[in-house]
Amino acid sequence: MSSITQSLKFALAGWVAGAVAAVGVGFTWPTIFPAIIVVGHYYGAGPSLPTIILFAILIASPGGLAGGIIGSRIPREGGRTEQYLMAGIMGVIISLPFSCLILWLFTGWGNL
């Protein structure tokens, strides 16, 4: 298997893990910050929660892709399973701050 194909698989693993984490945080976010449910209070007719989560995934995608590539380089002694696991973990670590920032901005706190 070529090096480019392997790198793409690891990048995809990081992206999927980051997107799943962004969706998980996006749906639990209204519990922590309930203002995101009433976005009309801040923006008038604002976007719905699924649209906000989709936007958070789009902004976090480059971090997930980069995290997947970086994470695949960490465990050289382990097998492919460990490399995919680290690609997913690094994808979450790098992409989650970006998705949390977008969710925070849509709660109205970013407009202070």
pLDDT tens digits, 80-105 = 888 899 999 999 999 999 998 888 88
Contacts of 92 (CB under 8 A, 6+ apart): 17, 18, 21, 64, 67
The CA distance from 70 to 55, in Å, is: 24
| Alpha-helix runs per DSSP H in 46-79 | 49-73
Among 39, 60, 57, 41, CA closest to 106: 39
Q: What is the pLDDT of residues 28-37, one digit of tens each?
A: 887 776 666 6
pLDDT for the residue 91: 95
This prediction's pTM: 0.82
DSSP tag of 46: -
Element spanning 20, H or E: helix 3-32
Decide: 41 and 108 in contact? Cβ < 8 Å: yes
